[in-house]
Structure 1
Amino acid sequence: MADISAQIAKYEAFVTDQLQPDLATVLADRDAVYERIAEYLKLRNNIEILDRQQLTSLKTQVDLGSNFYVQAHVPDTTYVYVNVGQGFHLQMTHAEALEYIARKDTQLQGQADKLSQKANHIKAQIRTVYLALAEIMQLGAGKP
């Protein structure tokens, strides 16, 4: 009986100490990728609005951080600056930016899909361990 209790404790520790933190990390990473996708889609929508309404200048609000906004005037909307990572921002035309956003969206969707698959794999491992625990408990209960 002590042997079965030790096995159960070992499996439970594996789930709580290894699998559940791994799952939380993967899900957090996937959420971060989804946030980046949302930012790019928001930029794409803004560019499409600029093109559709043929705006050459723009009055907007800019978040300086901590939800502190100031008004800004953009005198020329011909170009946009796109964050391409590592602290770099590239000046692009609307067409270039839309093309970049489409490629980046595809790449980020691929990352999100891989992270979703990894999360599903970890969830399957957790279910397998719980099924093994159930069998161990049944075997332990069946012994006199």
Structure 2
Amino acid sequence: MTQEIECYRGVVHPWLCDAMGHMTTRHYTAMFDDGSYHLLAELGFGPEMLARRQGFADVNLNMTMQAELAAGDLTVVSGRVIRIGGKSMVLGYSMRNRTTGDLAAELIATTVQFDLEARRAIEVLPVIRDTARRLFPEAEIAPGSAA
């Protein structure tokens, strides 16, 4: 079993649903996005990095819908690190219906460590890499450069 950590809980409100009564794709994406901030915080991303103008940029998202969610359903998003390379990470998220346990959707995101001033990718910070190794021992994590 792949280690994951809970990174979001929510509820499907009626205004998040389409004319057919199902939560729309844009709101699946928003819940995954909210969860990404919590996962990144668990990895060590915090205000001090923003103060140094270091952040992240998603460069590829691949979402698979598994089961419909409707108004009133409770959701839980869990996340994990799949791989960390030099300047990017592949993060995986799963969204489940809290009541039934059914998998509703999965998202695989490629996220780049980013210099917010220079507007370019930078090496994944050592604190992120080290924390990922500890929290997700099964992840493929390349060694960082000797900075």
TM-score, normalised with respect to structure 2: 0.22
Report which of the two has the higher share of helix.
Answer: 1
Structure of higher CA gyration radius: 1
TM-score, normalised with respect to structure 1: 0.22
